Structure 1
Amino acid sequence: MKKVFMPLVMVAVLSCIPYIGVAHFGMGYLFGVIIPYLAVLLFVAGFAWRMYDWLSRPVPFCITTTCGQEKSLDWIKHQKLESPATKWQATLRVLMEVFFFRSLFRNTKAELHTGPQLAYASSKWLWMGGLAFHWSLLLIGLRHARFFFIEPPLFVQLIERTDRFFELTLPAFYMTDAIVLAAITYLVARRLRDAKMRIISLQTDFFPLFLIGGIVIFGMSMRYVAKVDVLAIKALMLNLASFSFDAPGAISPLFYIHLFLASVLAAYFPFSKLMHAGAIFLSPTRNLANNSREKRHINPWNKKIKFRTYSEYEDDYRDKMKKAGLPVEKD
């Protein structure tokens, strides 16, 4: 279980660093200004570099993954999303994949039973867990946009009102906080419960989940357990958004743990499996149109070949073709 405990210990150690630095050594400026700026810089530069590296690689072949009828004769029904024939159809397919995980919805699991007998079954729990995890993180991120504006935008206010619809506690409880923790618990338990998943799982599979879980837990602690000065936090976020290097005010060390873990996640993002967030848009199996019958795809690595026309071929072998009794176009 080393692959599980090591990431957990790493997140615990990372959580202790800002607490000790701020509470005992007064390093609020380092953890509140310098490190967040460096993390964002590393995130933007790393993300841009990875995208540039992928975009610069040629895609000579049409390798679209298809699950339906290709565009053919007019009287044959064409599955536009399953086998896109145009760029717009391929774009819509990618967006459906990004927002609704269409391919994961079809995911099946294979189990070997006594007999032996191989059985296939639906795997919708993974689809629901992944969807809940990603959508909750998106809504939580959008909710945090209120810290970067003096007056929260209308869409942020709508998200907040919807998220705290039940008004279960005071302060209001956000549904996405509970959903994302439940989704993280399920994704970790799924890797631990299944023997096959335990074998193929790596420390890099658990570390982002534990890191995001730590960010969420410390964020919820500031809201429901140990209250912090929200005005001072917002002032710091406004300064960061305006590229100001002013020193932060007196803020609880819990906030610096939350901010430091978020900075670690941002710096770690471009160099990890989390880059699938950008890679999905560049996946040739998804973003290409299935038009191999309409358009010729040439491999740029192939050597240049001189093609001969039939008339040139006949000029070279006309006499031999006549002797063999083969028809020729020219006498």
Structure 2
Amino acid sequence: MKKVFIPLIMVALLALIPYVAVTYANMSYLFGVIIPYAAAFIFVAGFLWRLFDWLRRPVPFPIVTTCGQEKSLDWVKQNHLESPSTRFGAAVRVLSEVLFFRSLFRNTKAELHTGPELVYASSKWLWMGGLAFHWSLLIIGLRHARFFFLEPPAFIAALEHADSFLELTLPAFFMTDAIVLAALTFLVARRIRDAKLRIISLQTDFFPLFLIGGIVLAGMGMRYLEKVDILSIKALMMGLVSFSFEAPGEIGALFFVHLFLVSMLAIYFPFSKLMHAGAIFLSPTRNLANNSREKLHRNPWNKPGKFRTYAEYEDEFREKMKKAGLPVEKD
């Protein structure tokens, strides 16, 4: 179980570093200004470099993954979503994958039962857990946009109201906080409980889950347990996005734990499996149109070949063709 406990201990140590440094060494400027700027630079530079590295790789043939009827004869009904033949259709297919995880929805699991008998079954729990996890993170990220505006946009305020409409606690309890923690628990437990998945799982599979969990717990701690100065946080965030290097005000140490873990996630992001967030848009199995029947795709790696006409071929081999009794066009 070292592959589980080592990432968990690493995240705990990462959370302890800013808490101790800010509480006992007054290093709020380092963890509130310098490290966030460095993390943002590494994130943007690393993200763009990975995208550039993928974009410069040639795709000689269409390798679209499809599970529907492609465009063929007029009387054959085409599946425009599963097998798009236009760029617009391919874009819709990618967006449906990004927003609704369509391929994961069709995912199946194989289990060996007594007999022995191999049984295939639906695996919708993984789809539901992944969808809840990613959508909750998206909503939480949008809610945090209010810290970067003097007056938050109307849709951010509406989103906050919808997320907290149950009004279970004071301050209002956000449903996405509970959903993302439940989804994280499910994803971690699934990797530990399933023997096959546990064998192929690495420390790098558990680390980002624990890191995101630490970020969520630190954020919930600031909201419901240890109160922090929201106005000072907003002033710091607005100063960061305006490239101001002013020192942060008096903010609780738990906020710097939250911000430091977010910075570590930003640094880790471009060099990890989390880059699937950008790779999905550049995947040739998803973003290409399935038009191989109507468009000739040439391999850019092939050297230009020398071709000759049949007349030239016959001029070279006419006498041998006559001796072999083969018909020729010219005597």
TM range (shorter): over 0.9
Deviation at 1:194, TM superposition (A): 0.4
SS of structure 1 residue aligned to 2:127: helix
Q: How does 1:111-150 map to 2 (within 5 A)?
A: 111-150=111-150
Higher mean C-alpha displacement, 290-299 vs 227-236: 290-299
- d(CA) in 2 for partners of 1:302, 1:204: 39
- d(CA) in 1 for partners of 2:121, 2:316: 63
Query: For each residue in 1:251-291, what CA deviation from the matched residue of structure 2 results, as whole angstroms up to 9, or x when unmatched?
Result: 00000000000000001000000000000011111111111
- d(CA) in 2 for partners of 1:95, 1:277: 12
Q: 1:284: which partner in 2?
A: 284
- d(CA) in 1 for partners of 2:169, 2:309: 80
Tell me the TM-score normalised to structure 2 length: 0.98
Q: 1:251: which partner in 2?
A: 251
Q: How does 1:1-331 map to 2 (within 5 A)?
A: 1-331=1-331
SS of structure 2 residue aligned to 1:111: strand
Deviation at 1:31, TM superposition (A): 0.2
SS of structure 1 residue aligned to 2:236: helix
Deviation at 1:315, TM superposition (A): 2.0
Deviation at 1:294, TM superposition (A): 1.9
- d(CA) in 2 for partners of 1:123, 1:14: 35
Tell me the TM-score normalised to structure 1 length: 0.98
- d(CA) in 2 for partners of 1:255, 1:198: 34
- d(CA) in 2 for partners of 1:25, 1:310: 86
Deviation at 1:299, TM superposition (A): 2.3
Deviation at 1:51, TM superposition (A): 0.1
Deviation at 1:327, TM superposition (A): 3.0
Higher mean C-alpha displacement, 305-314 vs 34-43: 305-314
Query: Aligned residues, how many?
Result: 331
- d(CA) in 2 for partners of 1:180, 1:85: 37
SS of structure 2 residue aligned to 1:299: coil
Query: For each residue in 1:203-249, what CA deviation from the matched residue of structure 2 results, as whole angstroms up to 9, or x when unmatched?
Result: 00000000000000000000001110000000000000100000110
SS of structure 1 residue aligned to 2:246: coil
- d(CA) in 2 for partners of 1:91, 1:308: 41
1:123 corresponds to which letter in structure 2?
Answer: S
SS of structure 2 residue aligned to 1:160: helix
Indicate conservation of the 8 Å contact 2:72/2:293, yes or no: no
| Percent identity over paired residues | 76
- d(CA) in 2 for partners of 1:254, 1:309: 78
SS of structure 2 residue aligned to 1:233: helix
Deviation at 1:325, TM superposition (A): 3.3
1:136 corresponds to which letter in structure 2?
Answer: S
* Unaligned 5+ runs, structure 1: none
